[in-house]
Amino acid sequence: MMREDRKKKRILIKLDNDAHKSKSIQSPDFSVISLKCQAKHYEWGKKGSSSFVGQILKDQGTTIDEDKPYAELWMGTHKSGSSCICGLSPGLDGHSLSDLFIAFPEFIGDMNIFKKYGHHLPFLFKVLSVGKPLSIQVHPDKTLAGQLFSSRPEHYPDPNHKPELSIALTAFSALAYFRPHDQIIGFAKKYKKFGQLLGSELLNGYENSDKPNRQNWLKKCFASLLTKKPENIIATIKDLVNQANVDTGDETLRLFKQIADHYPDDVGTFACFFLNHIQLKPGQAFFIDVNQPHCYLSGDCIEIMACSDNVIRAGLTPKFKDVELLCETMTYKPKRMEKFLLEPIRNNDFTWLYSPPVDEFAIEKIEIPKGKSSGSQFPLHRLHSASLLIVIECESGSINSTALKKSRVYFLPPGLNYSLSGLRGRFLAFRAFIKQ
Ligand SMILES: [Zn+2]
């Protein structure tokens, strides 16, 4: 379907789906297309140029407000923030990537990929800069997402599931998946005030339940916590913060206090006793499947997810909470951290593949150390699908005949051969694509 001679062809496009306004354009080069991507200013984002997202915008020439949070950069075709074409030609610049896929369906991928996903990228690619804990959340599976979208579209904006993969760019900290049950009950015994909040009935319930019923116990425990009276929650948080101030060597209490400092009256603070605490170094990754509770705490990361914005929230947020639904939806099976950390597969000397167990996406990391970058060509994998490339570090260099710049995002049409050359300094980029 893809043809290399496309760049020489004169093509009639109907970017606004209106035959009268159709434009006939001559594209200078269709092999690499620069994108302008939207930032989201959620209040949990890092502020100004301390934010990785803010820094990317600054590098692109945008003036940054140092008091404003820069939480997310969206790369893709999601209707709440589709990326736009820039620097290509006056006829195309400013049009969304979605428009481009409608005009040129072959840009999505080969016929199999187009048949499966149509005119939209099935993934949403992001950079996140987390300044304070995000909400405790789960993402629904496809069946539930469909039901929620049709019954409550004001809270659940699309019918899609949202498994997500995160790769740390800086030291990154998060809570994810339930801890082993014995750890949770261990905390309830160790931190008396937390145990008292849960109540003796629940604590005895654990002792009296056999292993197969422990998930049920955990569900009761979590649901009971989320529905406690606010005054009891606030008082217990205060007690535990006081304890943390005295017992400064206790890592879990320190984490509790770190969350409580931002949310001194929010029941979500107790999530650190229930969910695994992950601390990633740059390049390390983890995968969050649907129905699994998680909460990002701090740091910057690359994130990719199925193209959806469906979030069921329970705490640590001023946004809409759906506690009952969250408790019903969640998977209560504990998972140890090593089971959801995602080890990349080394493809060659300079690329690593992050491939989670979903159809919609995978990410390739391209990393070339300073001493090895100059004087060589670095051929990238030929893909059958559209791909988006974000350049994190690059002094200078090019991809095919297009100059590459740090902090820029590029759309690479499928079926073409790409090669990096003329690199100087360390090179680091991430390329998101539809799984082949
Ligand atoms: Zn999430």
**Number of domains the chain contains:** 1
pTM here is: 0.90
Whether 17 is covered by a domain: the verdict is: no
**Structural domain of 317:** 173-340
Is-contact 266 238, C-beta < 8 A? no
DSSP string, 144-171: HHHHHHHH-TTT--SS----EEEEESSS
Q: Alpha-carbon torsion 85, 90, 95, 99, what sign?
A: negative
Whether 221 is covered by a domain: the verdict is: yes
Q: Name which of 83-97, 107-121, 289-303 the model is least confident about.
A: 83-97
Is-contact 63 415, C-beta < 8 A? no
Provide the pairing of β-strand 387-393 with 362-368: unpaired
In Å, how far are 54, 214, 220, 276 from 207, measured between CA atoms? 50, 10, 14, 22
- The pLDDT, as a whole number, for residue 47 is 98
Whether 306 is covered by a domain: the verdict is: yes
d(CA 395, CA 420): 13
Whether 131 is covered by a domain: the verdict is: no
Q: What are the catalytic residues?
A: 313
Instruction: Name the pLDDT band for 2 (thresholds 50, 70, 90).
Output: very low
pLDDT above 80 (res 3): no
- How far does the centroid of ligand 1 lie from the alpha carbon of residue 315, in Å? 13
- How far does the centroid of ligand 1 lie from the alpha carbon of residue 50, in Å? 23
pLDDT above 50 (res 8): no
Whether 302 is covered by a domain: the verdict is: yes
Whether 362 is covered by a domain: the verdict is: no
d(CA 334, CA 338): 12
Instruction: Name the pLDDT band for 282 (thresholds 50, 70, 90).
Output: very high
pLDDT above 50 (res 17): no
Q: Which two tokens stand for residue 78?
A: 């999601």
- How far does the centroid of ligand 1 lie from the alpha carbon of residue 169, in Å? 17
Please, how many CA atoms are within 13 Å of residue 11, restricted to the half-sphere of its CB?
Answer: 17
In the predicted model, what is the mean pLDDT of the chain? 88
Is-contact 54 71, C-beta < 8 A? no
pLDDT above 80 (res 6): no
- Residue 228 belongs to a domain with what CATH number? 1.10.441.10
In Å, how far are 70, 119, 373, 425 from 428, measured between CA atoms? 22, 29, 11, 10
- How far does the centroid of ligand 1 lie from the alpha carbon of residue 272, in Å? 16
* Percent of all residues in the chain with a pLDDT value above 70, rounded to a whole number: 92
Q: Alpha-carbon torsion 316, 79, 163, 127, what sign?
A: negative
- The pLDDT, as a whole number, for residue 158 is 84
- The pLDDT, as a whole number, for residue 93 is 84
- How far does the centroid of ligand 1 lie from the alpha carbon of residue 363, in Å? 18
- How far does the centroid of ligand 1 lie from the alpha carbon of residue 294, in Å? 7
d(CA 170, CA 172): 6
pLDDT, tens digit (0-9, with 9 covering 90-100), for 340-360:
899 999 999 999 999 999 999
Q: What backbone torsions phi and psi does residue 297 show, to the nearest 5 degrees?
A: -105, -45
Q: Name which of 156-170, 206-220, 310-324 the model is least confident about.
A: 310-324
Q: Alpha-carbon torsion 83, 114, 122, 16, what sign?
A: positive
pLDDT above 50 (res 290): yes
- The pLDDT, as a whole number, for residue 22 is 38
Q: Is 427 exposed, middle or buried (0-12, 13-18, 19+ CB in 10 A)?
A: buried
In Å, how far are 54, 390, 405 from 63, measured between CA atoms? 9, 20, 18
Crossing angle for the helix pair 230-246 and 251-262, to the nearest 10 degrees: 130
Tell me what the mean pLDDT of segment 96-116 comes to. Answer: 89
pLDDT, tens digit (0-9, with 9 covering 90-100), for 223-253:
888 888 999 999 999 999 999 999 889 999 9
- How far does the centroid of ligand 1 lie from the alpha carbon of residue 260, in Å? 20
Q: CB neighbours (10 Å) of residue 152? A: 13
Crossing angle for the helix pair 181-190 and 214-226, to the nearest 10 degrees: 50
Q: Is 127 helix (H, G, I), strand (E, B) or coil?
A: strand
Whether 406 is covered by a domain: the verdict is: no
Q: Can you name the residues that pair with 144 across neighbouring β-strands?
A: none
- How far does the centroid of ligand 1 lie from the alpha carbon of residue 245, in Å? 31
pLDDT, tens digit (0-9, with 9 covering 90-100), for 40-64:
999 999 999 999 999 999 999 999 9
